[in-house]
Amino acid sequence: MLRQQLSTYHIRKKKPRLANIDRLFWVALKQVWAKWRDHLIIVKPETVIDWQRKRFKKHWTKISSRKKRPGRKRIKREIRDLIYQMAGENNWGADNKKQQSWMTFLKNHGDVISAMDFFIVPTIRFKILYVFFIIDHKRRVIRHFNVTSHPSALWVIQQLRDAFPFDHTPKYLIMDRDKIFSPQVKGFFERQLGVDPKVTSYRSPWQNGVAERFVLSARTDLLNHVIVINESHLRRLMTEYVEYYNQDRCHLSVGRDSPLGRAFQQKSFDSSKR
């Protein structure tokens, strides 16, 4: 009888207004009830997942509004003009020698370049988890990934040891200006791995575009459609996704093949059907 009455609401489009406590109830219930989709009438399953994203957006906005504006105070105009004048009179700054552009560097060395990066994933309780990964440029293979709630320089160094055993290292490794990629991490590249670290320019995510594209794929294919419970849950999801990404997901950059290569069946041609 209760379901019949709810069906009437659904048919007449006179849906009752849901409060935040109702939305939180369904977000939490989704994690513990496998058949939650079968009993939704008033809202769609996609709506429940969207509620969680909106909750995190409000939570993050509230936290961000408490922080002061980042960066140093702007230098006075008179001081800036004086610096420019001194630089001009003393020939300060880099010379005008033509240098290889970033795009030319990527094009010429794509087969010996890997990239690494972090991206964040919030849990149902808004705990921030960090996904670290290393991706090869040539075939877009995810060489290594891991999940943590407290990243550190030592943790990153251990991930590099796991990713590059037995001296199987790239010539260059691209990273952004994240503080966690400290001189200690860069020193490990050069001394222990023999890898030349390449740091992207300030606010230039396009220079690490291969890694950024993987983040977009992971969010579009997986993370935008689930609510992560905890670290072990995210690690399991990413393990399954990376396996799919490396073995089955097609990429235009590798001729519509998967990073590790897929076996495909050739269709036989029957001349009698011409």
- For residue 112, being part of any structural domain is answered with yes
The DSSP result for 15-28, as a single string, is: PPPPPHHHHHHHHH
Distance CA(224)–CA(143), nearest Å, equals 23
pLDDT in tens, 167-188: 678 999 999 999 999 999 999 9
pTM of the model: 0.71
- For residue 37, being part of any structural domain is answered with yes
Distance CA(202)–CA(73), nearest Å, equals 18
Pair (121, 247) in one structural domain: yes
Q: How many domains does the chain have?
A: 2
Cα dihedral sign, 60-61-66-72: positive
Pair (37, 132) in one structural domain: no
Pair (41, 164) in one structural domain: no
- For residue 11, being part of any structural domain is answered with yes
Longest dimension (CA), the chain: 88
Q: Which domain holds residue 199?
A: 102-254
Closest CA to 239 of 127, 142, 125: 142
45/176: higher pLDDT: 176
Pair (35, 135) in one structural domain: no
CATH classification at residue 176: 3.30.420.10
Pair (129, 229) in one structural domain: yes
Pair (121, 234) in one structural domain: yes
pLDDT in tens, 47-100: 777 878 888 888 878 877 766 655 567 778 888 788 887 877 776 655 545 556
